[in-house]
Amino acid sequence: MRDILLYGVCGGVLIVALKLTEYRFLVLEHSVELYVALVAALFAGLGIWLGLTLTRKKPTMIIKELPAQAAEPLVADETCVSQLGITARELEILGLIATGLSNREIAGRLFISENTVKTHSSRLFDKLGAKRRTQAVQIGKSARLIP
């Protein structure tokens, strides 16, 4: 939600900037080449930033078949973890969620605040693309993040 507003505001700002530079161009008679180059560089930078931002934590998922139970909870682990940018703390909390603990119980077990657990789980759900903790557990099991 914040990102949408952010991008909308950025787009509006850029449009305004564009008109402003157009106005300046008409008034001050800058050279066309300089103006075009500025706009091109500006939008190129915008595009790069946009692309980087949009794809930073949302990698495209490709469903891939793996043969069978090789019983390796650490091999695909690090792959997926580095892929999605899941931290060790978030993975730890995912494991505790999978055992059926509530946020308060997790907080008591890890000696941290319940709000912290919520923050971790929120970011974890965002990275996993899950809306509920049960879904996060399901995705985590599918991705072999948790045994």
Partner DNA sequence: TGCAGAATCACCCAAAAGAGTGACGACATC
Partner DNA sequence: GATGTCGTCACTCTTTTGGGTGATTCTGCA
User: Is position 118 an interface residue for DNA (rule: CB under 7 A)?
Assistant: yes
State the binding partner of 120 from its own copies, DNA, none, CB within 5 to 8 A by kind: DNA
User: Is position 108 an interface residue for its own copies (rule: CB under 8 A)?
Assistant: no
Kindly determine how many residues on this chain lie close enough to bind DNA according to the rule CB under 7 A.
Answer: 29
User: Which of 93, 107, 117, 130 lies at the binding interface for its own copies (CB under 8 A)?
Assistant: 130
State the binding partner of 139 from DNA, its own copies, none, CB within 5 to 8 A by kind: its own copies
Distance CA(49)–CA(105), nearest Å, equals: 40
**Dihedral through CA 119, CA 3, CA 43, CA 14, nearest 10?**
-130
**Dihedral through CA 85, CA 137, CA 103, CA 131, nearest 10?**
80
Q: Which residues contact 38 (CB under 8 A, 6 or more apart)?
A: 21
Q: Site mask, its own copies, residues 3-22, x = CB under 8 A?
A: xxxxxxxxxxxxxxxx-xxx
